[in-house]
Structure 1
Amino acid sequence: MLAARFHGQHDIRVEDVPTPTPSAPDDILVEVHWCGICGTDLHEYAVGPIVTPTTPHPLTGVTLPQTLGHEFSATVVEIGRDVRDVAVGDRVAIMPAIVCGRCYFCRRGQGHLCLVFACTGLSAETGGLAQFAVVKEYQVAKLPDSVSDLEGAVIEPAAVAAYGVDRAGVTGGDVVLVTGAGPIGILSAMYAAAVGAGAVIVAEPNPNRAALAASLDIGEVLDPTAPGFAERLLDLTDGIGVDLTVECSGTSPGLATAISSTRRAGSVVQTGLHTKPAQLDAMALAEKDLSLHGSWCYRLTDWPRVIRMVAAGRYPVARAVTAQIDLPDVVSRGFDVLVDPQGDQLKVLVRSGGGTS
């Protein structure tokens, strides 16, 4: 089968590799339909290896090269003898986290904080940027007929966005600022609107991404580097500031905008991942009595809930998809386009098999 394999910085090769086979009684072989290229994948490509293991991973034992892809939908083609939740032929979305189930955090229902956390497509034998993958039963969630294969591949980043917004604690009617209009920022804005935000404002300096965000009509889109940004934000919030900010840019300027824009006693959640230490105005954090939250991954049990929101039309995740490409073109039309700072794409999905849109 074909698979996009990460060997090192700027080195992804579409290679012919053996089709994986289930070996454990709770293993499931799936045929991949669509797989998204994530910001984490882009970080690996541009400056990695970061989380892809160069020595045997403590849980999975794998090392580079790694088949990438952890945002994907698929159809079940083979199941282990102990699998009960899905059957051959079921369409599924993959929850890629691999956890030990035994550490302090796993035993408390916080598998996303597992001490030996691994991930299909980053630190596992298989990944979604391939024609087939093997996953565990706890990693699959059935898709209803009303959710397409394409939407199924966006459930993973949609869950990341949802968890960040939930960490910030949106209350009905809140004014929410999202800094950074990348895929997670756009999905965060959509989710905030879906769970009751009174208004959503997006801050994005890249004109191409700002235009994409504006075309989705989620809320006002502002350039945080433009003169008058702070004044416009105060105009929109009766001079108080936003109730909470979801910081999705993963940059020090984005975090600074979040802290300066949020009202006293408001909340800021850091959803975007920083690849280097950030500068933080701790005095402003203290003076404004702000709550600053981290956000890592998602609750591993969130897939059915997010899928139901998509099925009901409340969380229109497919609107974040701006390009659909084939697996052989994953580098030239996917990774190279997305790492361009002035790129005009938001979420690129890769067609690995027979999925429909």
Structure 2
Amino acid sequence: MTMKAVRYYSKKDIRVEDVAPPSGPLGDDMVLIEPLVCGICGTDLHEYIAGPIVTPATPHVYSGATLPQILGHEFSARVIETGRNVTHVKPGSRVSIQPLISPRDDYYGRRGLFHLSEKMACVGLSWEWGGMGERAVVNGYNVFPVPDTVSDVQAAMIEPAAVALYGVDRGGVTSGSSVLVSGVGPIGALVLLAVKAAGATTIFVSELNPNRRALAQQLVPEAIVFDPRETDALQLFRDHTEEGVGLDVALECVGAEASLNLCAEAVRRRGTVVQVGLHMKPAAVDAMLWALKDITVEATWCYPVQIWPRVASMIGAGILPVEKIVTATIRPEDVVEQGFEALLDPKASHMKILVDMKA
């Protein structure tokens, strides 16, 4: 018996092939799952363009996984079987996958900071299984049951939404905040939704791509959306804040130097800049400006894994409509052409592409 899986071999080499499914007795703390819907992430794109980066060319220090890698770390699933120690889900349970895997007993694990372990692995990137396969085995702590108010598509979006919500948390965005979201890729779009959910009342969006500006305006109609190349952004912020002091919080969601510096310029004295986007190279910053304004700069990595039920409840309540950023749903067979290549097309209007594993 075989199963279909999307496997990453190396740069520009992703294959849809038949592989052996998980077999043998299930570990006491493990769960056998059937992936339902799986997102393509920016991390997956980086691997495709320039990898292997985080996918393991040599056996992973903690998981032992090695290439080729079944992709997919943003996904929903149905439980097929559970190990005897797993009590929070049962066969048939619909779940969202929290993909981070790390020791429970190292320095960070003992403190509940599982996302900071130096040995961290990730389902779909550095683990034997991933969301773009018909079956997968994960740890009990990787599966979170979702209520009926959360669809399979929404459950697949909890992982990127967790990244976004963590950034908004770290910025201290609250009801009445004035906020800049710089960059509206998939994470920036979710940050925009999370900022709205947190109660921000003056929301600015900086984005170069006209398609993405249009989507941002649809997501939050009252947001002030602009192209930083064509707008005097600082004048715009002055015009919309008390005494022209600037904004409470700016969230950098691009990973670009110009975007980071715009955020530092945007905030008022004692404001907060949150680094959400990942920078692929060093950025030159005006550290003197940071000092003069007495600002706080927060940088984020992943998310605290305990955030899952909170994201699910926000989605279920309708205040975090994550499904609105999905621009296509495709079959696993079409993942390279209609998924990876479509997302890399600079003229395309795609934001988030999901793979329907049941299609």
Q: What TM bracket, shorter-length normalisation?
A: over 0.9
Superposition map of 1:120-131 within 5 A: 120-131=123-134
Measure, in 1, the Cα distance between the counterparts of 2:241 and 2:132: 43
How far apart are 1:262 and its partner, in Å? 1.2
Which of 137, 162, 168 is equivalent to 1:159? 162
Q: Which residue of 1 aligns with 2:72?
A: 69
Does the 8 A contact of 1:206 with 1:342 survive in 2? Answer: no
How far apart are 1:341 and its partner, in Å? 3.0
Measure, in 2, the Cα distance between the counterparts of 1:276 and 1:61: 29
How far apart are 1:236 and its partner, in Å? 2.0
Measure, in 1, the Cα distance between the counterparts of 2:275 and 2:27: 37
Are positions 1:271 and 2:273 aligned together? no
Q: Which residue of 1 aligns with 2:235?
A: 231
Q: Which residue of 2 aligns with 1:215?
A: 218
TM-score, with normalisation over the residues of structure 1? Answer: 0.96
Superposition map of 1:133-144 within 5 A: 133-144=136-147
Does the 8 A contact of 1:158 with 1:317 survive in 2? Answer: yes
DSSP 3-state at the match of 1:334 = helix
Superposition map of 1:148-297 within 5 A: 148-218=151-221, 219-238=223-242, 239-297=244-302
Does the 8 A contact of 1:46 with 1:339 survive in 2? Answer: no
Measure, in 2, the Cα distance between the counterparts of 1:278 and 1:127: 33
Q: Which residue of 1 aligns with 2:13?
A: 11
Deviations 1:276-305 (A, max 9, x none): 222222122112111111101011111111
Structure 1 gap segments, 5+ residues each: none
Are positions 1:147 and 2:174 aligned together? no
Moved more, 192-201 or 88-97: 192-201
Which of 297, 302, 308 is equivalent to 2:313? 308
DSSP 3-state at the match of 2:164 = helix
Measure, in 1, the Cα distance between the counterparts of 2:308 and 2:200: 22
DSSP 3-state at the match of 2:305 = coil
DSSP 3-state at the match of 2:314 = helix
Q: Which residue of 2 aligns with 1:337?
A: 342
Does the 8 A contact of 2:45 with 2:340 survive in 1? Answer: yes
Measure, in 1, the Cα distance between the counterparts of 2:133 and 2:262: 39
- The amino acid of 1:3's aligned partner reads A
Identical-residue share of aligned pairs (%): 51
Deviations 1:280-337 (A, max 9, x none): 2212211211111110101111111110111111111111111111111111111111
- The amino acid of 2:18's aligned partner reads D
- The amino acid of 1:93's aligned partner reads S
Measure, in 2, the Cα distance between the counterparts of 1:77 and 1:205: 44
Measure, in 1, the Cα distance between the counterparts of 2:159 and 2:37: 12
Does the 8 A contact of 2:26 with 2:82 survive in 1? Answer: no
TM-score, with normalisation over the residues of structure 2? Answer: 0.96
Does the 8 A contact of 1:36 with 1:350 survive in 2? Answer: yes
Measure, in 1, the Cα distance between the counterparts of 2:345 and 2:265: 28
Are positions 1:43 and 2:46 aligned together? yes
DSSP 3-state at the match of 1:301 = helix
Measure, in 2, the Cα distance between the counterparts of 1:249 and 1:75: 33
DSSP 3-state at the match of 1:189 = helix
- The amino acid of 1:50's aligned partner reads I
Q: Which residue of 1 aligns with 2:327?
A: 322
DSSP 3-state at the match of 1:225 = coil
Measure, in 2, the Cα distance between the counterparts of 1:246 and 1:191: 11
Are positions 1:84 and 2:111 aligned together? no
DSSP 3-state at the match of 1:308 = helix
- The amino acid of 1:236's aligned partner reads H
Deviations 1:199-253 (A, max 9, x none): 2211101112111211223512111121423222221224121111111111111
CA RMSD after TM alignment: 1.3
DSSP 3-state at the match of 1:86 = coil
DSSP 3-state at the match of 2:348 = coil
- The amino acid of 1:17's aligned partner reads V
Structure 2 gap segments, 5+ residues each: none
Moved more, 336-345 or 54-63: 336-345
Measure, in 1, the Cα distance between the counterparts of 2:202 and 2:98: 30
